[in-house]
Amino acid sequence: MGKLLMGQINYSCDLDIFSPDNSSDGNLKKKWKIINGVRYLVKGGNSFNNQEPFNEIIATKLYERILDQNDYVPYQLLEENSTFYSA
């Protein structure tokens, strides 16, 4: 389901729609992905230059400087199929 929502595959009748991807609110393309045993919310951008993932990284770097570690959600940059996402 995540790949469909990210535009990486086309719809097919045998697609399993039982997925947490169906219930994640917001306007950005997103999917849940397990990377090295850790579950991440992978979010794309919706502007023509895909700026939103980079904004999340800049915000993370700012928060690291001014907030306690438990006061924000840190993001990292992820590349899939030549497209950048925040995770």
Under DSSP, is residue 67 helix (H, G, I), strand (E, B) or coil? coil
**In this predicted structure, what is the pLDDT of residue 61?**
97
Give the C-alpha separation, 4 to 17, whole Å.
10
What residues contact 5, with CB distance under 8 A and at least 6 apart? 21, 29, 30, 31
Average pLDDT, the chain: 81
Give yes or no for residue 72 having a pLDDT over 70. Answer: yes
What whole-number percentage of the chain has pLDDT above 90?
Answer: 45
Can you tell me which residue has the tokens 């502007």? 47
Phi and psi angles of residue 34, each rounded to the nearest 5 degrees, phi first: -95, 120
**In this predicted structure, what is the pLDDT of residue 48?**
81
pTM for this prediction: 0.68
Element (H, E) at 54: helix 52-66
State the pLDDT confidence band at 3, using cuts at 50, 70 and 90.
low
Among 2-11, 37-46, 47-56, the least confident range = 2-11
* Domains of the chain, residue spans: 2-86
